[in-house]
Structure 1
Amino acid sequence: MKSFDGCWTCRLRKKRCDESRPACSNCSSLQITCHFGDEKPAWMDGGAEQRAKADEIKHELRHAAARRRGILPIEVLAPLRAEPILESHCDRTSTPTAPSTTLAPSDYDLMSAEKPEQCSAISSSDGQSRESGLDRRFMMFYFDHFFPFLFPFYKPSLLEGGRSWIMELILGDRAMWHTTLCLSTYFVSITLDGAISGPNVCKDLAWGRLLEQMRVTFVMLQNDIREVASSGTQDVIVKTSRIMGSIIQLQRFETTVGNFDNCQKHLSAAIALYRQVLQATSNIIGRDGRPAFRDILSHMGQRLWATTFEQGGAWNSDQAAFRFYSALLIVDDIIASTCTGTPPRLQEYHTELLTNDHRSDERPPLNLEDFVGCESWVLLRIGEISALDAWKWSTQKAGKLDMMELVARASTIKQALLADLARLDASTHTPETNLLGLYAVYNDHLPPMPGGCAKFVTRVWAQAALLYLSLSVSGWQPGSVGIRENVVRTLTLLEQMPAAALLRTMVWPFCIAGCLAEPGEECRFRALADALMPHRLFAAARKALEIMEHVWRCRNELTVDSDFAACMRRSGYTESSMPILI
């Protein structure tokens, strides 16, 4: 016999209920939990518990609406609050705030939200094996499709061990496993959204998995932080480097889905962990001062096959991961510094990590071109300009600015940029020798062009660096000859991209040139961003366009004392909330 008032969810929401079972049409259409039964729930007390349950259902409604629209709510991207997790990186003696939801290690991959039961791709009578099988499939999607999309230039050779370390690391580290599943489920949800129109149970499943994995990721990071605090010195190096990688991966996920709120927090935590790895290595080798990069790698185990670190060989998974995430961290730090108006926090390591100290027979520890497609010398110069810009404003504020010294420093940077640009142009048509070139034919996801995409990307970054230098020295003078020339050159290069998606590797050059565009050029910058489809996969480029459009609206209010960091602040960002345009 049907009850007169319907399900308890509808009663709480004061909605008319059709009393269908096992879920009424209201709850089914909204994709929320339908509470029904003859007995009145304890939370229907007319007091505090009922108000709490009402808030819980409102929260569930927001998440369900987000799944239906294909949008990830901001609050979902910081479950359990990010601050306690990240701050604990910097202070090992403190205990991270316990999450509101506890999770035993043996249970972590059995957690699930309420999920549809009829998706043909996962039909199984065994819930645990269904979950495991789905996770493995999502993980292979990541290896096969999404990682190459996120990092199109990262193609280590077979002789270095290739990219097999990614699978080894993810399978051996719980936090990395869940951050990777976050990325993969997000991409799968977008793919299904584009391929399947209308409500679909499999799309709902992908979003349910995404929300679940975000929650578990933060719990895993908290657990890992607790474990590393009690580890022996030898273990600290590997465990801390893995946490650093998980945080950088988490940041990449959040910026991919369009949440930039935690960029600076994640960056600060990762930098603190990088320094802790250095300190742990120093403790082991007993050396005064900073250990060399190869000292860190040598204490992460043996290479898979090797002669010496200088002569090469295949990195083991922890070594390869540390190199990869260190490169991303260096780049993020440099780009963040241009937005905040402060020197790069890792600048003291740049020469050691990114140069060969003028020894042509030796490769630097990190060659950024191999990781992000832009040669190291450009990003080194951008870091120097950022530091020069910070010096200029601090000395000017103190009334001690020496313009001759400013110009002299800027001239040195400019001459280095121009010399490297000339060398780049000369090498464009020089064929590269690659013993494994046969395999590259089958594994290159980048469009063909003279000299290769990396040289093109490097040229765009270098042109934008010259623009940034002029802006830092001369201030906001968009009509000046030097700034005009570099805006036009950068825009012209961007419009010559062999594929629109390549813009996602040049977001910072796109943004700084766009901020200085004339009104007649605005539509050309918009067209570059609008060509990136679907927009949800290119959140950083959309964020850059949002910043540019804000600058265009208030361009008449900007004075000669403004610089790129001032533009960012005028867009409403503080130093702690500044997005990283990478």
Structure 2
Amino acid sequence: MKSFNGCWTCRVRRKKCDENHPVCSTCAGLGITCHYDQEKPEWMDGGAKQQDMVKQLKRDIKENALYRLPLGERAFYASASDSADALPRPAPESFSDPQLASQAAENPVVWPLRESGSSLVDRREGEGEGEGDGDGKPSGWPDACLLMFYMENLLPFLFPFYRPSPLQGGRSWILDMLMSSPVVRQTALCQSAHFFSLSLGTTTCDGAWAKVLTQTRAAFDMLRRSLQDIDGQRGIAGHEREAVRILASIMQLQRFDIAMSSFENCHAHLTAACALLKLILESALPDDAAHVGSNLINIMSRLGPPSWVLPSQCTVQVPSAEETALRFSSALVIFDDIIASTALQKRPTLYEYHHGLLTGTPSVPAPIDMEAVVGCQNWVLLQIGGIAALDAWKQQCKMEGNLDVMELVRRATAIKETLVTQLAHLQLANRVSKPSGVLDLLAPHGQLSSDRADQHCLLTHVWAHAAVIYLSVVVSGWQPASTDVRHHVGQVISLLTYRLSPPSLLRTMAWPFCVAGCLAEPAQQVYLREMVETLQPPNLFGTLRKALEIMEDVWRDRHVGGDSSTRDLASCLRNQGDLLVLLV
């Protein structure tokens, strides 16, 4: 029996459709747009427009053919079309082919988020296995190689501090997402394809980069359609699993863009992620920010069964994939939101939820553990968010002409006392090494629990010193000669120079590195340059090179006697105009 409920894309191609929503498996496998509208599209006219669409779809399928080839053939294609002068992510004007330039220019994502209070329509994601269509081979074991490359190599590089205990499931939730979510899998394949080509020693030329653009465009299309499932009248209650998967996918795309030194879409990604996380947090008790921690725990309880029964009938409490994904993605969203607010001079979008999500007690830990994801303890990021909110309040008061300097100092003093007190506790804390257990014996070299504790302690020190510098600039203006500022700048440089191991971890501290570097003395600048220039290859450390570029602009302006009376950290971070440079 012929079905009349398939997508319009399969109908116009005269192919069988499995009718999965919002993207059918056939379109997902081929990486083409899946049209699933209720009304017949205007191009489905049985005439010229319909024929034009058929031709366009054939062109898209041919463009995607590279990613359906076996891995060896992909590598051969990339090597054959390699160009030594190619950039890791070329600008549109750098393409020799006008069509490729147009593809690069049209790459930005438009997130169709509607008003808050909307909901997610129930859907079932397909497996993403498509047919060959005569233009290439379907996805098979080569994708498994790329996904393993993502799990074993790319994830530890992008998130070096994220090492969840195997007793809590480890990173198995990510594997579960890759297997069950076409959107997550598509973004992971896109990232792996690029970084795998770098591992083979190939750089990205016009042809190879066009394939990456095609792959990401398919991922963007999946996310757009998923977000369009949000309906303003039903709420997301009952559909939290799907919402969490969309949130995880957005943050995957965010990290991919940042790793590629492309910041054009960062603001769009972050805006969408913050809005979606708000909807998730408010789905239990709307407009109750004071109990958002309890809300999060209630939501997690609805994300799937937590138990795992071993053959010996020993029950192990392993969180569901969606629960762990929510904790992980929420930490990234909050982190990015805080860092973005320092450049935008506005209160963090999720600021009202910070206290409920990031504070805890010895007996009841905070719902979100930033240290487990980004390596920095909650209290530092909590204070940086408070400084950003203070800066936004100061700017608003100045615009209205009613700034109370005494009130500014009072608020700043409370923040600084917290930072200084916590820093002292951190420096005096005597960490007692626990006996090596089975997990330490099984851990790879350099990943012992004691090594991780040392890395987290160093990272928290660096972020705390940078937070004090940031606070000083907000309250007192640009004062690089201040004794207090010079002390904390020196501490950051000393920690990074003598205690950072391995040096590649510097990429996780782009923001504090930039904050301290902007106020560094001329004699210290050579050390900061060397830290970045020794990290190779350059295209794997794009955020650090962007931070150094910002610092060089500040140093150059200072050298020529530029006016520093109006300079602040936000103006330095926005030296690219309206572009949000997210140093994460």
TM-score of the two chains, using structure 2 as the length reference = 0.75
CA distance in 2, matches of 1:78, 1:266: 18
What is residue 475 of structure 1 aligned with on the other side? Answer: 477
Identity of aligned residues (%): 37
Matches within 5 A, 1:87-236: 87-88=112-113, 90=115, 127-128=136-137, 131-193=139-201, 210-229=212-231, 233-236=236-239
Contact map agreement 2:119 2:231 (CA 8 A) in 1:
no
**TM-superposition CA deviations, 1:44-83 (whole Å, max 9, x none):** xxxxxxxxx9xxx9xxxxxx78797252234589685534
In structure 1, the gaps of 5 or more residues are 1-52, 58-63, 96-103, 115-126, 307-311
Distance apart, 1:433 and its partner CA: 6.7
SS at match of 2:283: helix
1:505 aligns with 2:508: yes
Distance apart, 1:426 and its partner CA: 2.1
Distance apart, 1:372 and its partner CA: 0.7
What is residue 342 of structure 2 aligned with on the other side? Answer: 338
Q: Which amino acid aligns with 2:531?
A: L
Distance apart, 1:279 and its partner CA: 3.4
What is residue 534 of structure 2 aligned with on the other side? Answer: 531
Change (3 A) 1:524 1:175: same
Q: Which amino acid aligns with 1:352?
A: G
Q: Which amino acid aligns with 1:166?
A: I
Distance apart, 1:234 and its partner CA: 4.3
What is residue 41 of structure 1 aligned with on the other side? Answer: none
Q: Which amino acid aligns with 2:370?
A: L
CA distance in 2, matches of 1:339, 1:549: 17
Change (3 A) 1:109 1:523: farther
Distance apart, 1:318 and its partner CA: 0.5
Change (3 A) 1:450 1:579: closer
Contact map agreement 2:177 2:321 (CA 8 A) in 1:
yes
Contact map agreement 1:185 1:206 (CA 8 A) in 2:
no
CA distance in 2, matches of 1:303, 1:386: 37
**TM-superposition CA deviations, 1:4-62 (whole Å, max 9, x none):** xxxxxxxxxxxxxxxxxxxxxxxxxxxxxxxxxxxxxxxxxxxxxxxxx9xxx9xxxxx
Contact map agreement 1:374 1:454 (CA 8 A) in 2:
yes
What is residue 456 of structure 2 aligned with on the other side? Answer: 454
Matches within 5 A, 1:402-481: 402-432=404-434, 437-439=439-441, 441-442=443-444, 444-445=446-447, 452-481=454-483
What is residue 71 of structure 1 aligned with on the other side? Answer: 88
Contact map agreement 1:447 1:453 (CA 8 A) in 2:
no
Contact map agreement 1:504 1:538 (CA 8 A) in 2:
yes
Contact map agreement 2:112 2:228 (CA 8 A) in 1:
no
Distance apart, 1:453 and its partner CA: 0.6
Q: Which amino acid aligns with 2:319?
A: W
Q: Which amino acid aligns with 1:400?
A: N
CA distance in 1, matches of 2:440, 2:404: 56
Contact map agreement 2:112 2:224 (CA 8 A) in 1:
no
Contact map agreement 2:550 2:573 (CA 8 A) in 1:
yes
2:267 to 242, 259, 264: 264
TM-score of the two chains, using structure 1 as the length reference = 0.75
CA distance in 1, matches of 2:289, 2:348: 25
Distance apart, 1:335 and its partner CA: 0.6
CA distance in 1, matches of 2:382, 2:118: 35
2:298 to 292, 295, 299: 295
Distance apart, 1:265 and its partner CA: 1.1
Distance apart, 1:467 and its partner CA: 0.9
Distance apart, 1:442 and its partner CA: 2.4
Q: Which amino acid aligns with 1:417?
A: L
Distance apart, 1:138 and its partner CA: 0.4
1:541 aligns with 2:544: yes
Contact map agreement 1:464 1:490 (CA 8 A) in 2:
yes
Distance apart, 1:244 and its partner CA: 1.4
1:514 to 489, 513, 517: 517
Distance apart, 1:287 and its partner CA: 12
Change (3 A) 1:105 1:239: closer
CA distance in 1, matches of 2:457, 2:517: 22
1:326 to 322, 326, 330: 330
Change (3 A) 1:355 1:305: farther
What is residue 82 of structure 1 aligned with on the other side? Answer: 108
Distance apart, 1:136 and its partner CA: 1.0
CA distance in 2, matches of 1:222, 1:299: 25
Change (3 A) 1:487 1:141: same
Contact map agreement 1:417 1:462 (CA 8 A) in 2:
yes
Change (3 A) 1:74 1:108: farther
CA distance in 1, matches of 2:171, 2:340: 27
SS at match of 2:200: helix
Distance apart, 1:443 and its partner CA: 6.3
**TM-superposition CA deviations, 1:273-297 (whole Å, max 9, x none):** 11121233347x9999856210111
In the alignment of these two chains, the number of paired residues is: 484
What is residue 354 of structure 2 aligned with on the other side? Answer: 350
Change (3 A) 1:268 1:439: farther
Change (3 A) 1:109 1:137: farther
Change (3 A) 1:170 1:80: farther
Q: Which amino acid aligns with 1:355?
A: T
CA distance in 2, matches of 1:232, 1:412: 39
In structure 2, the gaps of 5 or more residues are 1-58, 64-80, 93-99, 310-315
